[in-house]
Structure 1
Amino acid sequence: MKLYNHIAAGFSALEWEMVKHIPEGGNWQNIPESIPSQRLVQIRKSGGRTTYYGRLIYDKPSYTITTYFNRLGNGCNLHPKQDRVLSNREAARLQSFRDSFIFKGTKTSQYKQIGNAVPPLLARLISSLIKPHLENLTFIDLFSGAGGISEGFVMNGFQLVSASEIEKNYFETYKFNHSQYADPKNFILGDITSPDIKQKIIDTAQNKKIGVVVGGPPCQGFSTAGWRDPNDNRNQLFKEFVEVVKTIQPEFFVLENVLGILSMRDGAAVKEIIESFSEIGYHVNAPIRLNAEDFGVPQRRRRVVIIGSLKKCAIPQPIPLFSDEDKNLPNFITVKQAIGSLPPIQAGDDIIVKDVEMPSNTPYDRLMKEEITFEQFYEKSRM
């Protein structure tokens, strides 16, 4: 089979000296002080995070995949057994992207696409929360990125109508992987704050009944004066999200964001978000906190979703599907189960496409290779 994006960043001479001292589960504390590094000097003084210069553990989920998984010192990015950082494909698997999903654009862009994405299996869970209450399993994906949310919704039987994204490389990845699900003319590249772009997005919903509008608009401006502050341009994207929902009138909206949004301005920011949707006629549920590893993602990642509907509908906090404490549930998916079957490569290897013999050692392998459905994967994980 062909394996895409299985490439790993290289090391400097100094980094090679560091790597050989870091065992599985180790970090910067294992690097001898004799190795000269001004950054390590600063970390030792300040008592830096234990994930810095970290090596993953095979038998546990990974730490959060960030946009810097290609860098040795920026997190726990070392392969558990091989002296290299995670490959793009391995990071994508830890995010739960199927193996046939191909990332386009520059290497730097791919790191950002993978690290910024919503894990498809987490998006699948989100879609399952609202699916029983919908009349139309159609959705529009705003701020789509590479397409993690769309992947999860499509996996759960939803029909993609359209999507929008401003970043060209992200858009090329999205378009390449999702043209089989919707008319590519309905994939809109551009700034949603532009009236023309926003109208193009709205036009894709004409003569269609839209079940859901999903998206994760940046909400940094909420940390200061709130979304109503006309002087904070960072809030404009959120305003456009609300405007699109108001105009299209989907049955549901789903707003996905980082967990930190709940503590912005001591909770006042979330209240303003809920009020903004209430003002346009939506019944908004209490924010739902999600741990990705609870739902089959082999990664510790914390997110929050805010769900609203035109008809009053209670969406409860979902019950975990996986656990390392509840004996009635299958254990969390581990790094080894997720990437252990991928062929070994060298640091700096940049062969983008590989013809490989890759075994299906675990149910997660089979899910990523699209040999089984999520339901089959879950059932086999319980065995």
Structure 2
Amino acid sequence: MDQRKGEQCMYNVVDLFCGTGALSYGLSLEDSRFHVVAGLDHDADACQTARANHPGAKILCRSIRDLSAADFALEAGLSDVDVIVGGPPCQGFSSLRPKRNSNKNDHRNYLYLDFVEYVGFFRPKVFLMENVVGLIGETKGELLSEIMSDFISLEYDVDFRVLNAANYGVPQKRERLIMVGVNKNLVSKPVLQFPNPTHFFNGRVIGTKRKDKYVTNPARGLPALSVMEAISDLPELAAGQSSDCYATQPDNPFQKMMRKGSTDRLSLHQAAAHSSKMLDVIKVAGTSKNALPEGLVSSGFSSCYSRMEPDQPATTITVKFTSPASSKCIHPYQHRAITPREAARLQSFPDCFQFRGSKTAIASQLGNAVPPLLSKAIAPMLIQNLEGSIRAE
């Protein structure tokens, strides 16, 4: 992007499959030069959330299948795009991709192909694509190879790593596949060096055959943030209760970071109202379903009906974090599932981040989001390439 001498260079960012806009939000937390200009998602509530937190961006609530890159550029009023980010939904990753000339409305089409189309149209200097770790093993690695080949054919240098959010200051053991591409024609010396972990833990990881692509850190830096380190300043609640006041002053740097820019009033700290039967289960719950008395529950995975461990990062926050029957979501000490505010903390959303929609919609947005502190950690890698592009022009 051309800039007059003396002006700060801004990098225009487009966020596809944007959801809450968390992926691009994290970039802007790290560097104000990331300027989110547009986004796209089919979920109306998530789009409202993205608009609230990216007030200068044109967020279109449309299915990407119904909107070509050229039409998107026209509707959003775009010209130069420096960065494209996004996480195509993983539901389509079940078989080899269809032919490119197939019907765009065919459900067998992979949405990642639309991401590729947008990259090919806008030719950004860099792109960032995130997805589930399971993509590595899908179709024995053929699908991932296809995806990378598509970007390479557009003359991008491409690589990926599996990053764990707990290694980057997020109080949650959430693994994501992060792929970065650098436009060889616009960047003088493409750099694909993924961020070094700042925090350590030696927890289990999702197993795949590509161990060479995992970034792990069992011993260096700061200890991973724990659940209680993230939420201990929030007031105690019984099931069905809510509070809009903080319990204490921030107790550690993470809590100070999360409360920066927020008012004295707390939002979204409302506990689910559990049935009496569920409360009976919660009161005797341990760190796995196996801790329950025999016969108390008859179904569910081992992680269901269980408490979060207070001195460890949380397990992956899902869209069902208010339902102990569906996930490991019971508060470490209190007899209830975690609240949306606690889930937001464990996802590293600042308290000032605004969510829109019903309780169910907000839970879905939280469970599907990329932790902002994870994308913040990746931002310097992108900046290094973007600064290289300025020198190359």
Shorter chain as denominator, the TM-score bin is 0.5 to 0.7
Q: What is the identity, as a one-letter code, of the residue corresponding to 1:333?
A: L
> Using the alignment, how far apart are the partners of 2:261 and 2:38 within structure 1?
27
> Using the alignment, how far apart are the partners of 2:196 and 2:98 within structure 1?
32
Q: 2:190 aligns with which of 309, 313, 326?
A: 313
SS in 2 for 1:235: coil
Which string of whole-angstrom CA distances, capped at 9 and with x for unpartnered residues, describes residues 143-199 of structure 1?
A: 0111220220110121111111111111111112221xx24xx11111111137861
SS in 2 for 1:206: coil
Q: What is the identity, as a one-letter code, of the residue corresponding to 1:313?
A: P
Q: Which residue of 1 aligns with 2:133?
A: 259
> Using the alignment, how far apart are the partners of 2:35 and 2:130 within structure 1?
19
SS in 2 for 1:193: helix
Q: Identity over aligned residues, as a percent?
A: 29
Q: 2:39 aligns with which of 163, 167, 190?
A: 163
Instruction: Map 1:69-88; keep pairs closer than 5 Å.
Output: none
Contact residue 256 and residue 303 of structure 1 kept, 8 A: yes
> Using the alignment, how far apart are the partners of 2:69 and 2:183 within structure 1?
25
Which string of whole-angstrom CA distances, capped at 9 and with x for unpartnered residues, describes residues 276-323 of structure 1?
A: 1122222212x2110110000000111001111112623124321101
**TM-score normalised to structure 2 length:** 0.54
Q: Which runs of 5+ in 2 are unaligned?
A: 1-8, 203-217, 263-349, 351-372, 378-393
Contact residue 322 and residue 330 of structure 1 kept, 8 A: yes
SS in 1 for 2:36: strand
Q: Which runs of 5+ in 1 are unaligned?
A: 1-134, 379-383
Contact residue 191 and residue 197 of structure 1 kept, 8 A: no
Q: Which residue of 1 aligns with 2:107?
A: 233
Kindly state the Cα deviation for residue 201 of structure 1 after the two structures are TM-superposed. Answer: 4.3
Contact residue 223 and residue 264 of structure 1 kept, 8 A: yes
Distance 1:305 1:271, change over 3 A: same
Contact residue 144 and residue 215 of structure 1 kept, 8 A: yes
Kindly state the Cα deviation for residue 215 of structure 1 after the two structures are TM-superposed. Answer: 0.4
Q: Which residue of 1 aligns with 2:117?
A: 243
Q: Which residue of 2 aligns with 1:212?
A: 83
Q: Which residue of 2 aligns with 1:139?
A: 13
Q: Which residue of 2 aligns with 1:297?
A: 170
Distance 1:296 1:205, change over 3 A: farther
Contact residue 167 and residue 201 of structure 2 kept, 8 A: no
> Using the alignment, how far apart are the partners of 1:345 and 1:152 within structure 2?
30
Q: Which residue of 2 aligns with 1:339?
A: 231
Contact residue 222 and residue 235 of structure 1 kept, 8 A: no
SS in 2 for 1:164: strand
SS in 2 for 1:250: coil
Which string of whole-angstrom CA distances, capped at 9 and with x for unpartnered residues, describes residues 229-257 of structure 1?
A: 74762434222211111111110111110
Instruction: Map 1:1-383; keep pairs closer than 5 Å.
Output: 137-157=11-31, 158-179=34-55, 182-183=56-57, 186-195=58-67, 199-201=71-73, 203-204=75-76, 206-208=78-80, 210-228=81-99, 230=102, 233-285=107-159, 287-311=160-184, 313-324=190-201, 328-349=220-241, 351=242, 354-370=244-260
Q: Which residue of 1 aligns with 2:336?
A: none
Kindly state the Cα deviation for residue 328 of structure 1 after the two structures are TM-superposed. Answer: 4.6
Contact residue 73 and residue 79 of structure 2 kept, 8 A: no
SS in 2 for 1:304: strand
Kindly state the Cα deviation for residue 225 of structure 1 after the two structures are TM-superposed. Answer: 2.3
**TM-score normalised to structure 1 length:** 0.55
SS in 1 for 2:89: coil
> Using the alignment, how far apart are the partners of 1:218 and 1:202 within structure 2?
24
> Using the alignment, how far apart are the partners of 1:318 and 1:309 within structure 2?
16
SS in 1 for 2:200: coil
Contact residue 219 and residue 235 of structure 1 kept, 8 A: no
Counting matched residue pairs gives 233
Which string of whole-angstrom CA distances, capped at 9 and with x for unpartnered residues, describes residues 43-88 of structure 1?
A: xxxxxxxxxxxxxxxxxxxxxxxxxxxxxxxxxxxxxxxxxxxxxx
